[in-house]
Structure 1
Amino acid sequence: MLTFVGLGLFDRTDISEKGLRCIRDADHVFLECYTSLLIGSSREELEEYYGKPVQPLYREDVEQHPDELLRLAEKESVAFLCAGDPMVSTTHADLRLRAGARGIRTAIIHGASISSAVCGLSGLQNYRFGKSCSLPFPQKNWFPTTPFEVVAKNLAQNLHTIVYLDIQNERYMTVPEAVALLDQMAARNGTTIPLYVGIARAGSDTPIVRAGTGSTLASAEFGPPLHILIVPAGLHDMEREYLEMFAGL
C-alpha cells in the first residue's frame, strides 16, 4: 500500500488527523524534499512528532529510481509525504501510475495547498486564475522566458497567474528576485507588468502579503522563505478592496 500524504503549508502541525494516523501506522515513511518544504519544521522535528524515522527523497530518487520504494509498498504500508497537497502544486501522478502498473494499492490524503491558500491571503478569486508557471534561477548562458510568456497569455485573457519560485538546495528565490526577473523579461518584450502580489510564509502565524508595482515590491522586505508571487489581471472591486485592506495596495 502506498499512501500519498499532504503535510500542509508551513510546519508539522498543519497535517490532518487522518494523515497523522496514516504516518504513525505506516511501516515506512518517506519525505519528498525537492518540490517544496515545510519551512517551519526540520526533518528531525517531524521524526519526533511522528515517532518514527523519516527517509528523505530527492528528485532523482522519485523520478528515476523509485523501485525500492515501490518494492516496499508491494508488501508493506508506505507513506509518501509531501508539503502542500501531493497532487496539486506538488504533483506525483507519475509515481502513482507506476505503483498502479505494479498492482500496488494507492490512496491520497490531501493537505492544504498553496494554490488555494494564495486566494484566501490575497483575496483574488480562484476561478480567475489561468495557467500557473515556475520561475527558475537563471544559469550561465540560460535565461528562460517561458514564465513571462505564461503571464502574458493570462493577462491577455484577464486571468491571474500564480508564479512558483525556485528552490535549489538551501537557496530559495525571494519575491524581490522574482519581480526583478519578470520585469526584465517584460522589458525585453517592450512591455511592463503593472501589478504584483507577493506572499511569504503562507500557513504560518505571521504571513506577509504585499501588493504593488514591480519597483515597490523589488525593494520590499518579505523576510524568511518560502515566498510565492502572483501577477493579477484586472481586479474586481472586491479583489481591489481586499488587497487595499490586507496587502497595502
Structure 2
Amino acid sequence: MFYLVGLGLCDEKDITLRGLEVVKSATRVYLEAYTSILMVNKDRLEEFYGRELILADRDMVETESDAILAGSDSADVALLVVGDPFGATTHADILLRARALNIPFRIIHNASIMNAVGACGLQLYNFGQTVSIPFWTETWKPDSWLARIVENMEKGMHTLVLLDIKVKEQNEENLARGRKIYEPPRYMSPQTAISQIISALLSSPSPLMSPATTLAVTLSRVGGTAQKILSGSLEELAALGEADFGDPLHSMVIVGSRLHPMEIDYAGEFAVGEGWRKVARDVHGVVGEEGV
C-alpha cells in the first residue's frame, strides 16, 4: 500500500494518530520537502517518529516518482507532506501514477492553510479562488494571479494568497550549465507580496482595488506558538518592515466586500491602524457588531 500522509502545519506533534501508525510500520518513509516546510527540521521528526526519513526533493517527487512507488504493491511505503496531501497538485499527480501502475493507495488527511486561514477571523465560506504569488525577477514578472484576485473581488469574496518559497532552486546559469548547485532557501514575506501586488495594480488598474481601499490580512507561522496575524489596508501593511510580520512561513488574504460584522470585529483585533474599520465602513458599508 502506498500512503500519502499529511503532517499538518507546525511541528512533529501535528501528525494524526493514524498517520503516526503508518510512519512507524511502513517499510520506507519519504519526507517531501519542497512544496512547503514544517517549523522543525528533519532530525526532530526522526527523533519523534523513531525512524529514518528519506528526503524527497523536487527532482525525486516530480521526475522520479517511480522510485518512491517501487515496492508499494507488496509492502507499505509512505510519503509525508506538510499540511494536507491535496494542498499541492504534485501530490495528485503521484497518485495518478500509482493508479496507472495498479498500486493501491490511501490518503491520511491533516490540517492545511486552506482551512487554518480561518484563524484570522474571516469565514471560510466567503473565500473564492486561491492564488499563488511567485517571486519576481528583473526579467520575469508574471501577474496573472491579479486577475484571479479581481474575479474574487467582483463576487465580494476573499482571496487566500499563498506566498512563494524557493527550496533547492538553481540560478539561471547553473540551470543552463546543468550544474547541481542550489541557491539558499528563500521565503516570500508579506512585504514583498504586497509590493508586487501594488506594482501589478499600477500596470493593470482595477476600480475594485487600490492600496488605500483594499483590506488585507497577513498570517505567519499559522498553528505555531509564534503565530502572528496583522490586518489593515494594503497601504498600511506596505508601510511595515519585514520583521513586523514575524518569521516564515507566510500567507495572506485579500479581503472581499462580502464582509460580516463578526469578521470586522474578529480580524479587527489584529489591525495595525485605523484603516481596517475605516475601509470596511466607508467602502464596504459594514461595521462591527460593536457599532464601530
Q: TM-score range by the shorter chain?
A: over 0.9
Query: Number of residue pairs matched?
Result: 247
Q: Which has the higher contact order (CA 8 A, sep 6+)?
A: 1
How far apart are the structure 2 equivalents of 1:86 and 1:70? 16
Q: Is the 8 A contact 2:95 2:105 kept in 1?
A: yes
Q: Select 1:241's aligned residue among 260, 265, 268.
A: 265
User: Where do 1:92-241 residues align within 5 Å?
Assistant: 92-119=91-118, 121-169=119-167, 170-191=185-206, 192-193=210-211, 194-218=214-238, 219-220=240-241, 221-234=244-257, 235-241=259-265
Change (3 A) 1:30 1:247: farther
Q: Computing the radius of gyration over CA atoms, which structure comes out larger, 1 or 2? A: 2
Q: TM-score, normalised by structure 2?
A: 0.81
* Contact 1:89–1:113, Cα closer than 8 Å, also in 2: no
1:135, 1:164 within 8 Å by CA — same for their partners in 2? yes
Are the equivalent residues in 1 in contact too, given 2:231–2:270 (CA < 8 A)? no
The residue type equivalent to 2:34 in the other structure is: Y
Q: Which amino acid is the alignment partner of residue 184 of structure 1? A: S
Contact map agreement 1:36 1:90 (CA 8 A) in 2:
no
Provide structure 2 residue ranges, at least 5 long, that are not aligned to the other structure: 168-184, 277-292
TM-score where L is the length of structure 1: 0.95
Q: Quote the Cα distance in structure 2 between the aligned partners of 1:242 and 1:118.
A: 13
CA contact (8 A) 1:89 1:115 kept: no
Contact 1:195 1:214 in 2 (8 A): yes
Q: How many angstroms does 1:74 deviate by?
A: 2.3
In structure 1, distance between residues paired with 2:217 and 2:231: 4
Q: Which stretch of structure 1 is more off in the superposition, 179-188 or 81-90?
A: 81-90
| Runs (5+) with no aligned partner, structure 1 | none
From the superposition, tell whether residues 168 and 184 of structure 1 become closer, same or farther in structure 2 (CA, over 3 Å). same
Give how far 1:59 is off. Answer: 2.1
1:13-32 deviations in Å (ceiling 9; x for gaps) = 11111111110111101011
Retained in 2: the 8 A contact 1:148–1:185? yes
Q: Does the CA-based 8 Å contact 2:62-2:90 persist in structure 1?
A: no
Displacement after TM superposition at 1:203 (Å): 0.7
| Alignment partners' CA distance in 1, 2:146 and 2:215 | 14
Q: What is the deviation of 1:69?
A: 1.1
Secondary structure class of the residue paired with 2:55: strand
Once the 2 structures are TM-superposed, how far is the Cα of residue 247 of structure 1 from its aligned partner? 4.5
Cα distance in 1 for partners of 2:137, 2:269 equals 38
* Contact kept in structure 2, 1:180 and 1:214, CA below 8 Å: no
- Distance of 2:271 and 2:32 partners within structure 1: 32
**For residues 25-36 of structure 1, what are the structure 2 equivalents within 5 Å?**
25-36=25-36
Shift of 1:36: 0.5
Match of 2:53 in 1: 54
Judge conservation of contact 1:8–1:85 (CA < 8 Å) in 2: yes
In 2, Cα distance between the equivalents of 1:144 and 1:44? 37
From the superposition, tell whether residues 231 and 207 of structure 1 become closer, same or farther in structure 2 (CA, over 3 Å): same
- Check if 1:68 corresponds to 2:67: yes
Match of 2:19 in 1: 19
Give the Cα–Cα distance (whole angstroms) in 2 for the partners of residues 60 and 174 of structure 1.
Answer: 25
C-alpha RMSD of the superposition: 1.4
Aligned to 1:7: 7
SS at match of 2:64: coil
Q: Is the 8 A contact 1:7 1:82 kept in 2?
A: yes
The question of whether the paired residues in 1 share the 8 Å contact of 2:26 and 2:77 is answered with: yes
